[in-house]
Amino acid sequence: MAAFSSSCSWKTGGLLFSVLLNYLIVVSAGNFYRDFQITFGNGRGSIHNGGQDLTLSLDKISGSGFKSRNKYLFGKIDMELKLVPGNSAGTVTAYYLSSLGATWDEIDFEFLGNVSGQPYVLHTNVFTQGKGRREQQFYLWFDPTADFHTYSVLWNPRCIVFYVDGIAIRQFKNLESIGVPFPKNQAMRIYSSLWNADEWATQGGRVKTDWSRAPFVASYRNFNADACILSGAGKTLCSPNVNAWLWKKLDLVRQSQIKWVQKKYMVYNYCTDYKRFPQGVPKECKYN
Ligand SMILES: *[C@@H]1O[C@H](CO)[C@@H](O)[C@H](O)[C@H]1NC(C)=O
């Protein structure tokens, strides 16, 4: 059972990943016009600079959002974000992958704003088969509103890893062998939205959105998906270097990064919330 604790290397069995891999060139430098569509916000979300930049904005009337045109089934997906500067209290910028239906899978980054000078919280979660309740929250080691930073997800049949500027902050291993569902059959789109959540987002809901500061704006650039895309015909088309990440597991360096981040920057961990789980924390906690 040593494989459990050491990395995402838990054996998945050769046949589990039965998707047909076609080695076609399906990725290139991102273009927001090509890869995404604005889903709501009546002009508050917009694409600029020939598809290189995207911004979402939020005012008292509405937030805004976008989603990917493609559906992905595994990938290494990077996006650079610059979050709402100044007093962003009450605002939430959500950036996530999600499938549809009652038993959906989801991989979440949510950025909870704060009053000027106080730290954003990066909230993460993983839903499998419609069940989440796996929140981990972090402070960042930089000001995420001063500049663009890269937020990435590695999602393959062995594990899900969250990265910030290439530093692993969280993993969720495939632990199906001990009965924890793992997202591997449902393709997901990428979604993002900027919205008002001042009932809960900032300092537990005590600080409300200051609408005199609106509009609030978050910016995106340099999207890159090294991924497998579900085509209309139900085939999966993977990027040419799929083998570089599809079976990748966390190496020791990355595992020590997670330990470092969790020690220094973690705000909340469902795995240590014994009040919330009096019957015992979820099984996966022991191995992640
Ligand atoms: C906002 O700042 C306060 C005070 O530093 C901190 O306790 C809180 O975790 C920060 N983030 C959010 C989202 O409330």
Per-residue pLDDT of the chain in tens (288 residues, 90 and over written 9)? 333 334 554 444 333 343 444 444 444 567 999 999 999 999 999 999 999 999 999 999 999 999 999 999 999 999 999 999 999 999 999 999 999 999 999 999 999 999 999 999 999 999 999 999 999 999 999 999 999 999 999 999 999 999 999 999 999 999 999 999 999 999 999 999 999 999 999 999 999 999 999 999 999 999 999 999 998 888 999 999 999 999 998 999 999 999 999 999 999 999 999 999 999 999 999 999
Ligand 1 atom nearest to CA at 207: 14
Contact status, residue 210 vs residue 89, Cβ threshold 8 Å: yes
Q: Which residues have C-beta atoms less than 6 Å from ligand 1? A: 112, 114, 118-119, 121, 202-203
Please say whether the beta carbons of 221 and 54 come within 8 A.
Answer: yes
Cα 70 to Cα 67: distance, rounded to the nearest angstrom: 9
Residues in Cβ contact with 183 at an 8 Å cutoff, skipping those fewer than 6 apart: 99, 105, 107, 126, 128, 155, 160
Q: For ligand 1, atom 7, which residue shows the shortest CA distance? A: 203
Distance of CA 143 to the CA centre of its chain: 19
Residues facing residue 219 across a β-bridge: 55, 82
> Residue of the nearest CA to atom 5 in ligand 1?
118
Structural domains of the chain, with CATH: 14-286 (2.60.120.200)
| CA–CA gap between residue 226 and residue 268 (Å, rounded) | 30
Tokens encoding 248: 């990748």
Which is the closest atom of ligand 1 to the Cα of 112? Answer: 13
Overall residue count recorded for the chain in this entry: 288
Q: The whole model's pTM is what?
A: 0.91
Ligand 1 pocket test target in 110, 124, 135, 202 with most atoms within 8 Å of CB: 202
* Pairwise CA distance, residues 151 & 283, whole Å: 27
Active site residues: 106, 110
Residue 175 near residue 286, CB atoms below 8 Å: no
d(CA 191, ligand 1 centre) in Å: 25
Distance CA 92, CA 192 (A): 10
Please list the alpha-helical segments (H only) found in 97-215: none
* Coil vs helix vs strand at 78: strand
Closest Cα to atom 13, ligand 1: which residue? 202
